Amino acid sequence: MRSLMKWLPAAGAVGVLVLLVAWMAGVFDQRLAPGLAPQPGGQAAVYRVTVETVPVSEPVPGSVEAKQATLISSRIMARIERVLVRAGDTVSEGQLLLELEKTDLEARVAQASNQISAVRARLTEAQRNLQRSIELQERGVLSMSDRDAAQATRDSFQADVQRADEALEEARAALTYASIRSPLAGRVVDRFAEPGDTATPGLHLLSLYNPLSLRVEASVREQLALTLKVGQPVPISLPALDSVVEGVIEEIVPAAEPGSRSFLVKIRLPYDERLLPGVYARVEVPAGSEQRIRVPSALLASVGQLWLATVSGPEGPERRFLRVGQRGADGRIDVLAGLAPGDGLLPPPTTVNTGQ
């Protein structure tokens, strides 16, 4: 009797532990059969799955480039005195960009002007001598040869005046080269020189582009490029701006690149002040059509990375796992696997019962 009383507390503790484990395991809960809970309010409307013919496109990487872009250089060798713009500045056509040292050029203009004055004075004297020679020759005092010599002298000075005028125009033109102006209205991309540097012909000083002439240039494989036409609209995705715009094909280079067997396609873009040359773009090139199953996203449910659909079966609603593709702008999702034409879709249940 004493031994029984001794083991009674231990047996009671074991029994309590067993009951606690059974409760945690759900032995005392009401068990439900696997499946879906019936829809409240009766049978829901059934959406019949159909196959649709949808246009497809192939994404082609491209880059934003400026149709109107230029590199500013000097036409003479001179020291740079002032640079009036920096990268990012907006300039107008004809605006002064750089000024070069022009002391020597101004001296050449003054020298050419003085040369013209001297030659014209000699021409005036030669014309007077010719007039006197004509009068004396008409009186019979001067021979015809002397008159011809006076006329030749006058003609020679006339030619000298013409050469001096051309030299002056040349000196003035060279003087204008010291003031470098913008050939177009646009934006400064980069500045390659500073005051004090020596500008030489062919050395790049500034880089400009016209923001209104931006376009996308993309290499499209020949099978797709041959189906495109100038003036055809194509959608263009700009990930950096998180936007999709409609471009228009402006030019198709009529020669394929031998290595990649692709054609360079140039597509005009609508103006956007945020766009810059070199920005990545993705061109959605039309690639025909294909058969797809597309269903409204409201009829599907997602659990993590899994997609589920409630299908009306002969024994009631049943759940199916799906493999889906892209979501369209109309809110419909491409179903790649899990559904067949004719299946009836039900709205996803608010609760899903699972058996133990």
pLDDT, one tens digit per residue, over 288-317 is 777 788 888 887 887 777 888 888 777 778
Residues 202-238: tens digit of each pLDDT = 899 999 999 989 999 999 998 888 888 999 999 999 9
Q: What DSSP element (H or E) covers 20? A: helix 2-24
Strands 69-73 and 96-100: unpaired
Question: What are the two backbone dihedrals, phi and then psi, of residue 109, each rounded to the nearest 5 degrees?
Answer: -65, -45
Check pLDDT > 80 for residue 68: yes
Residue 54's CB is within 10 A of a number of other CB atoms, namely 13
Instruction: Tell which wins on pLDDT, 5 or 198.
Output: 198
Q: Which residues contact 91 (CB under 8 A, 6 or more apart)?
A: 85, 97, 182, 185, 186, 187, 188, 208
What pLDDT sits at residue 217?
A: 94
Mean pLDDT score across all residues of the chain: 82
Instruction: Tell which wins on pLDDT, 336 or 11.
Output: 336
Q: Which residues contact 143 (CB under 8 A, 6 or more apart)?
A: 137
pLDDT band at 2; cut points 50, 70, 90: low
Task: List the one residue out of 295, 310, 314 whose CA is nearest residue 350.
Answer: 310
pLDDT band at 165; cut points 50, 70, 90: confident
- The answer to whether 246 and 268 are in contact (CB under 8 A) is no
Mean pLDDT computed over 241-257 = 90
| Cα–Cα distance for residue pair 205/8, rounded to 1 Å | 101
pLDDT band at 32; cut points 50, 70, 90: very low
Query: DSSP characters for 163-197?
Result: HHHHHHHHHHHHHHTTEEE-SSSEEEEEE---TTP
| Cα–Cα distance for residue pair 172/160, rounded to 1 Å | 18
Task: List the one residue out of 51, 49, 54, 53 whose CA is nearest residue 300.
Answer: 49
- Beta bridge partner(s), residue 263: 220
What pLDDT sits at residue 356?
A: 35
